[in-house]
Structure 1
């Protein structure tokens, strides 16, 4: 009985630890004139979104932002606006499929730069 109680107590402690580390769903961006938008931190984590389902960092200063396929947006000819945050002085976006994002047609490739070199930085993007 004591062994069972100890196992349950240990499991409860581990559950509490891992439950507190659960990732919260990104908040929604209110952007009535944007078809899609994202606020991404320097680690590539999606903080806020509109019609964006995921984002991730590929390497230093290189990110993929995955637009919801149900949004029916042709990223290859969409106007994509981007702003770099504190650690970068410019940001480039590519709406056409790239090898960096696995050739996905629903992905925006984002490169954040400082003095022309890739650097990890938070950024925002909007697809108009």
Structure 2
């Protein structure tokens, strides 16, 4: 299995437990990996034989604009749904980071990591 990675996709989304997070929005950073066989597109240089990652970027930007939810877990599930609508049930991996969570005295980030259709032998 080959992988297409999209890294450091910044998304402004209305996600959070606090009212102002959902009202005002905040930055998230997303890394995704899509598992598929790239040998045909590598041989033929044919875009139709691969997953056009520009479609994922545009669809995820649209999702972030329209979504309003409490948890990054829900946000991640919506991301998987968008990707499956585009590419089918490919192995997918994501890391979704809330860039500046509103926690007093905390200056780091919080992230979750999830996989869908991903077997143990596929690794990281």
Length-normalised TM-score, structure 1: 0.29
- If each structure's strand is expressed as a fraction of its own residues, which one has the higher value? 1
- If each structure's helix is expressed as a fraction of its own residues, which one has the higher value? 2
Length-normalised TM-score, structure 2: 0.30
Structure with the greater alpha carbon radius of gyration:
1
